[in-house]
Amino acid sequence: MKRNELIKFGLLLALVIIVYIPTLAWMWDRWFAAESYYEHGFLIPLVSLYFVWQKRKEVKSVEWSSGQVGLAIIALSLLAHLACAVLRVYFVSGFLFVLALYGLVLFSFGKKLTRLLIFPILFLFMMVPLPLVAVGNLTVALKLFVTKASVFLLNHIGFPSLQDGSIIRMPKSYIMIEAPCSGLRSLISLLTLGLIFAYTMKASYIKKIILLILAFPIAMFTNIMRTTLIAMVNDLYGGKIAMGFFHDMTGFVMFGVAFACLYGASKGLSRE
């Protein structure tokens, strides 16, 4: 019986993937585009599969059934996807793809198994890139915020500076906060990690939500510290040093600090 259900699921999954090929191709391009904000996107399905594999014993033991509501969800998702494909609204289509997968699991295996695998399924939403308009607006807002906060810090530690849009002007130099330095990439990555930590930690839903909320200030704080350090080194030693190895090194170091802070917060919130 279970073998037949798996065969049915595999065939339907192949059909869904074929229908969504334009959307999947769009996601692939966005994942591997220059200066992508979703370089981790291709890892999301692998992480979801790992979470499913972790629950393999429960999957085998739970009763399988057929959820007819799932068929309706698949049909509606496919119809809406066709409209999105015509209009080339791939962002919405990406979410519809995950919704179709949810309907497929529900139709093939029933409510009990779908409930068991709800997080691995919904986690796939994190692989869908934001539309470029949203990315652009968020980037501008975050650049201005990071610039303002960095100028505030610099003035209070003895480095006179002024904000000129997304430019930090200092007595001997200036730096421009470009889109990749806005902090959006680290914010998206930390939110993804936050979801993983929240799922694996043994704590109440309130604490899990608190952990996700903490991803925002952690991402912003570490990015502001990085920008401040680069501005200081640029003013003291020049752009050749500040914008070379030091620029790249601080990116890795500060993301490591952010990861450590988020991981530490998850451990702290897990305590009784």
To the nearest whole number, what is the mean pLDDT of the chain?
90
With 60 as the cut, is the pLDDT of residue 11 above it? yes
Closest CA to 69 of 114, 36, 27: 114
Evaluate whether 186 touches 222 at the Cβ level (below 8 Å).
Answer: yes
Mean pLDDT value across residues 39-45:
92
Q: How many CB atoms lie within 10 A of CB 42?
A: 13
Residue 194 has pLDDT above 90, yes or no: yes
Domain boundaries, the chain: 2-129, 133-270
Question: Across residues 82-94, what is the average pLDDT?
Answer: 89
Q: Does the pLDDT value for residue 150 go beyond 90?
A: yes
Q: Can you tell me the mean pLDDT for 7-22?
A: 90
Q: Looking at the predicted structure, is the pLDDT value of residue 182 above 90?
A: no
For residue 59, pLDDT beyond 90: no
How confident is the model at residue 3, as a pLDDT? Answer: 76
**Mean pLDDT of the 224-239 span:** 91
Averaged over 26-34, what is the pLDDT? 91
**pTM for the whole thing?**
0.87
pLDDT in tens, 154-171: 999 989 999 999 999 988
Q: Residue 210: which pLDDT band, with cuts at 50, 70 and 90?
A: very high
- Give the phi and the psi of residue 11 in degrees, each rounded to 5: -65, -45
pLDDT more than 70, % of the chain: 99
Edge-first strand order for the sheet with 162-164 is 162-164, 167-169, 174-176
Task: Spell 230-244 as b/e; 16+ CB within 10 A means b.
Answer: bbbbbbeeeeeebee
Q: What pLDDT score does 181 carry?
A: 81
Band (272; pLDDT cuts 50, 70, 90): low
In this prediction, what percent of the chain has a pLDDT beyond 90?
A: 62
CB atoms within 10 A of CB 245: 10
